[in-house]
Amino acid sequence: MKRPSLKKRGKPFEVVVRDVFRLFDQSATVEHGRWVVGTYGRRELDVTIEGTVGGIARKVIIECKDYNPKKTGPVGVETVDALITKRRLVGADLALICSNAGFTSQALREAKGEGIGLISVMRAGDSRIRFQVQEEIYTRRIKVDSINLRVHFPEQLSVDLSGVPSDAITFRGAPLIGWACQRASLLIGSNPIVAGSFTITHRLKEPVRFEVPSGSVTVIQIDVSVRISGGWYAHRVTLDAKAGIYDWLRRRVRLTPGTNQLFIKNIDIMNGGEAIARPPDSDLGFSDDFMPGEVAVWPLSVSGLDSIEPVPPIDELVVHEDMALENLRIRDLPAEAYTSNSVSAASSLIVPSV
């Protein structure tokens, strides 16, 4: 009699999981239907990834659960517990569960505490993926009430620019306010703010001459101040991508290299959603710990912030630290700044130079 083959017949869902993960790292070895034999007996591994991270060999195992959402429901905590044991027995550095039916809340809690990753694979239009991620996301609708410029001069100079319109201060023929609008847009997008006044400073590398109606002035620093009002809205949406995964614990989409197509279905940013005071505190922080290709879904609608062309080339004149994106992040925000309909109570904040 023939000895039975140890090679497992590939299932369609495992194959698509393997194919998506191959796109993340072309140098890694990604296989499906692999059997391993050891003192603990034979065990099948749905998908395995072996490669190096920072010159160190790593082994990842992925348990694929092609459940029927209507008949079996989402993946439960018992699958998490079983993978904890399997991870130890096969000596994996990381263990993931990829579900075609979502996860129970208990499974999410258990996995987070035990270091098990929970994911769903995304590949728009692929019939092997029956389950699409449905998630509650939060959007902001913001109105820019005002945007103002303040320029600083060397100590020995005293210049009165009171009454000079912002668009009358120019550099190389272009209005400085156009550049200020760009910086204000980045400030709003980098922080979970909906109400209040905020100022960001920009020190110049060396004194620069700007034109004003009466002639020209020497400037050493530019402050951009913006006052906003608005609110938060909750939306129940469907997320999909050309190729990628959804991380259920981090609540982020991770796209494969070269993929720039993320689909957010069933959303109306301008008019839809349920008005809320603010998202849960755990969702308010705009974290910096992004993995390559990872995307946090925070749609934003801003009105009253015009695009003014041409934009003067100010970026190259500003001290590098003051142009860095991390310098736009406001620390220790008061609750009024990220709570809907709180303009009257919101305090004025300054984003200081490093």
Hey, how many other C-beta atoms are within 10 angstroms of the C-beta on 49? 22
pTM more than 0.85: no
User: By residue range, what is the domain housing residue 76?
Assistant: 12-131
Half-sphere exposure of residue 32: CA atoms within 13 angstroms, side-chain side: 17
- DSSP assigned state of 3: P
Q: Is the pLDDT of residue 277 over 80?
A: yes
Q: Is the domain of 85 the same as that of 144?
A: no
Q: Of 208, 230, 218, 186, whose CA–CA distance to 322 is shortest?
A: 186
Q: Is the pLDDT of residue 288 over 90?
A: no
Q: Is the domain of 321 the same as that of 224?
A: yes
Q: Is the pLDDT of residue 1 over 50?
A: no
- Residue 117 maps to a domain: yes
Q: Can you list the pairs that 51-56 forms with residues at least 24 positions away whose Cβ atoms lie under 8 Å?
A: 51/25, 51/27, 52/27
Q: Is the domain of 215 the same as that of 154?
A: yes
The CATH number for 56's domain is: 3.40.1350.10
Residue 160 or residue 284, greater confidence? 284
Q: What is the pLDDT of residues 10-65, one digit of tens each?
A: 489 999 999 999 999 889 999 998 887 755 667 789 999 998 766 688 999 999 99
Q: Of 164, 123, 133, 110, whose CA–CA distance to 16 is shortest?
A: 123
Q: What is the rounded CA–CA span in Å between residue 349 and residue 66?
A: 50
Q: Is the domain of 76 the same as that of 158?
A: no
Q: Of 216, 227, 19, 44, whose CA–CA distance to 121 is shortest?
A: 19
- Residue 255 maps to a domain: no
Q: Is the pLDDT of residue 331 over 70?
A: yes
Q: Is the pLDDT of residue 344 over 50?
A: no
Q: Is the domain of 182 the same as that of 322?
A: yes
State whether residue 233 is helix, strand or coil. Answer: strand
Mean pLDDT of the chain: 86
Q: Of 59, 122, 126, whose CA–CA distance to 95 is shortest?
A: 59
Q: Which amino acid, 122?
A: M
Structural domains in the chain (count): 2
- Residue 277 maps to a domain: no
Q: Is the domain of 90 the same as that of 216?
A: no
